[in-house]
């Protein structure tokens, strides 16, 4: 990672966690580590895709970033932090062309493992060729691609390991790499309450996707600060319970959650990012209510942003439903 001082917050040089990240992932490349990250539920089963078992064993994500509805068009998909290659293979399933997926990772052992795994995938799937995924040496804070060259960028369970300054740089790089209107599909563990400093300073636990977690609001704010105008919260569910028995730095158990967000490189009409967390607004008056270019029909739930939900809840003629954290697309406003 870049060792230049961060513009704000901690820098990688004073945090000194890069070595732990490298060591953890070099080891996880040599030998699948079932305790590293934990995916709740099985990975997508796609018709005609025979996933080699090693790819499941090396699934070091905490959710899924692969959503067919993001993948219209043919612009390359940039995948940051290749791991064993499972999601790169799943993205390649949809692109099916040379270089359709570009996967970046700084850990040589991990790049080599992913390349081997994709060779195995090619032996099992007649439609797949390893060159569909171009694996590049590089880091999230200096992505080796041109400005605006990616239609979709994805990362799964990597950005939570970064200290603040590195996270800011990584998000700025994602934004730079995306074409206007491009989509960033991101999945990370988050924490439901602040983690004690002693735990946050544990480099190995940070590298293992535990102690670097930030909260839900902070995560969305970081995406907004990077410039993303629409944030669609796709999933939020329990990830792991940290207990004092396991972590003596804790005086009570803390629940971590897994969060999946689609962040869109689009301007916001209202100066702030619009967050879609699954809320709807239902017009309770008669007929229709035209608001901000949308028409709300009486009794019909309409997906709305959190800002719009707040505005409409204050009017008295709308009923607003709580977040589901399962928004499928941006709704009204
Ligand atoms: C938790 S694993 C996730 C792997 C994969 N996304 C998955 O879902 O299985 C993190 C991955 O990011 C890689 N990595 C570590 N530091 C990185 C950096 N600065 N930039 C890009 N990738 C990095 C690791 O080598 C590892 O492959």
Angstrom distance (rounded) from CA 111 to CA 258: 25
Contact residues of ligand 1, CB 6 A cut-off:
1, 21, 25, 37, 59-61, 80-84, 86-87, 104-107, 110, 139-140, 156-158, 209
CA nearest neighbour of 283 among 316, 306, 321, 317: 317
Query: How far, in Å, is the centroid of ligand 1 from the Cα of 161?
Result: 9
The string of pLDDT tens digits covering residues 194-211 is 999 999 999 999 999 999
Distance, CA 193 to ligand 1 centroid (Å)? 25
CA dihedral 257, 279, 268, 288 (to 10 degrees): 170
pLDDT band at residue 329 using 50, 70 and 90 as cut-offs: confident
Average the pLDDT over 3-27 and give the result. 65
Average pLDDT, the chain: 93
Report how far ligand 1's centroid is from the alpha carbon of 88 (Å). Answer: 12
pLDDT for residue 239: 93
Q: How far is CA 16 from the centre of its chain?
A: 24
Number of other CB atoms surrounding residue 222 within 10 Å = 19
> What local confidence, expressed as pLDDT, does residue 316 receive?
95
* pLDDT bracket for residue 302 (50, 70, 90): very high
Site to probe by mutation for ligand 1, drawn from 81, 104, 114, 256 as the one with most ligand atoms within 8 Å of Cβ, is 81
* Range of lowest pLDDT (93-97, 177-181, 290-294): 290-294
User: By C-alpha distance, which of 69, 24, 64, 58 is closest to 40?
Assistant: 64
pLDDT at site 77: 98
User: What is the reported pLDDT for 173?
Assistant: 98
Ligand 1 pocket mutation pick from 37, 155, 158 by most atoms within 8 angstroms of CB: 158
Confidence (pTM): 0.94
Q: How many helices (H) and strands (E) does the chain have?
A: 10, 13
In this prediction, residue 94 has a pLDDT band, given cuts at 50, 70 and 90, of very high
Confidence of residue 1 (pLDDT cuts 50, 70, 90): very low
Q: What pLDDT score was predicted for residue 193?
A: 98
For the chain, domain boundaries: 12-264, 279-320
Asked if CATH classification 3.40.50.150 holds for the domain at 12-264, the reply, yes or no, is: yes
| pLDDT above 60 (res 325) | yes
Do 12-264 and 279-320 share a fold?
Answer: no
> C-alpha 94: how far from its chain's center?
19
Looking at residue 6, its pLDDT comes to 33
* Other beta carbons less than 10 A from residue 156's beta carbon: 27
Q: In the sheet where 318-320 sits, what is the strand order?
A: 302-303, 280-283, 318-320
pLDDT for the residue numbered 3: 35
Query: Taking residues 24-35, what's their average pLDDT?
Result: 94
**Residue 13: pLDDT above 50?**
no
The arithmetic mean of pLDDT across residues 99-104, rounded, is: 98
Task: State the closest ligand 1 atom to the C-alpha of 59, by its place in the atom list counted from 1.
Answer: 9
- What CATH architecture is 279-320? 3-Layer(aba) Sandwich (3.40)
- Confidence at residue 277, expressed as pLDDT on a 0 to 100 scale: 98
Residue 15 has pLDDT above 70, yes or no: no
Mean pLDDT on 152-160 = 98
**Span from the CA of 255 to the centroid of ligand 1 (angstroms):** 23
Q: Which of 78, 91, 101, 105 to mutate to test the pocket of ligand 1 (most atoms within 8 A of CB)?
A: 105
Nearest ligand 1 atom to the CA of 79 is 6
Express as a percent the part of the chain with pLDDT over 90.
88
Alpha helices in the chain (DSSP H): 12-15, 18-30, 53-57, 86-95, 108-124, 164-177, 197-200, 203-207, 216-225, 306-313
Q: Vertex 222, ends 329 and 260: CA angle to 5°?
A: 40
Residue 220's pLDDT band (cuts 50, 70, 90): very high
What mean pLDDT is predicted for residues 125-150?
Answer: 98
- pLDDT recorded at residue 235: 97
Per-residue confidence (pLDDT) for residue 39, from 0 to 100: 59
């Amino acid at each position: 990672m870049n060792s230049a001082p961060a513009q704000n917050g901690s820098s990688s040089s004073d945090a000194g966690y890069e070595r732990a990240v490298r060591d953890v992932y070099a080891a996880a490349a040599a030998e699948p580590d079932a305790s590293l990250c934990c995916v709740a539920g099985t990975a997508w089963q796609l018709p005609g895709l025979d996933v080699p078992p090693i790819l499941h064993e090396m699934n070091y994500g905490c959710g899924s970033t692969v959503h067919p509805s993001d993948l219209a068009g043919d612009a390359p998909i940039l995948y940051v932090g290749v791991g064993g290659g499972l999601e790169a293979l799943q993205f390649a399933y949809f692109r099916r062309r040379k270089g359709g997926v570009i996967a970046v990772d700084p850990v040589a052992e991990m790049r080599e493992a992913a390349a081997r795994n994709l060779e195995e995938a090619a032996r099992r799937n007649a439609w797949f060729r390893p060159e569909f995924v171009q694996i590049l040496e590089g880091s999230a804070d200096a992505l080796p691609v041109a400005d605006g060259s990616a239609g979709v960028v994805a990362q799964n369970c990597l950005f939570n390991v970064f200290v603040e300054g590195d996270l800011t740089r990584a998000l700025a790089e994602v934004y730079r790499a995306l074409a206007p209107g491009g989509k960033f599909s991101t999945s990370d563990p988050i924490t439901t309450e602040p983690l004690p400093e002693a735990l946050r300073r544990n480099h190995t636990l940070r590298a293992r996707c535990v102690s670097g977690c930030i909260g839900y609001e902070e995560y969305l704010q970081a995406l907004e600060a990077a410039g993303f105008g629409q944030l669609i919260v796709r999933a939020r569910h329990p990830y792991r319970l940290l207990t004092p028995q396991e972590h003596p730095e804790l005086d009570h158990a803390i629940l971590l959650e897994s969060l999946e967000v689609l962040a869109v490189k689009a301007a916001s009409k209202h100066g702030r990012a619009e967050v879609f967390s699954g809320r709807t607004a239902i017009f309770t008056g008669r007929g229709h209510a035209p608001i901000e270019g949308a028409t709300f029909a009486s009794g019909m739930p309409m997906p709305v942003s959190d800002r719009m939900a707040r505005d409409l809840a204050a009017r008295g003629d709308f009923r607003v439903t709580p977040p589901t954290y399962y928004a499928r697309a941006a709704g009204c406003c």
